[in-house]
Structure 1
Amino acid sequence: MTTFHVQYVTNEHGLKTAVQIPLQEWQELLKEYAYFKQYATLKQGLTEAFQEIQEIESGKTSGKTLQEFLNEC
């Protein structure tokens, strides 16, 4: 696990209102976020595809031919 070097910004009452981290750590977080966002998008697409397969197999919806699928692109 990554250790972050954070600094807290507080208001006049001592309540934390913001966090500061070194720029290099922020850039690493952005890279990791982009990776996980891409992973989540792929996972969602696969989940939807498997749900659609189940609907087709159960007769709830009709499938498409390969040609119909390619025509959509």
Structure 2
Amino acid sequence: MKKIVPDPPVSYISIISDLPSEDALAQARKMMVLLNQSLEVYLECEPGHRRDAMLENVSLLSQLASALVKHAEGKGVQP
């Protein structure tokens, strides 16, 4: 029987285990600022390679920010 819902994407980003949670959250905040800036550039760009690159940037930054926050949560810190 065919699956109706596809498997969620697998994250290939991992964070070093000894990174302190405060540092992880500080880096996640930086990633979110860059994410916002990248989205602003994406929205201003005409369709084409630059816009496509900005969208890829947004995807990678969101995965990295998410991994950093999950790392901090795993150490018992609430963001």
TM-score scaled by structure 2? 0.37
Rg bigger for which structure?
Answer: 1
TM-score scaled by structure 1? 0.40
Q: Which has the higher helix share?
A: 2
- Higher RCO, Cα 8 Å, sep 6+: 2
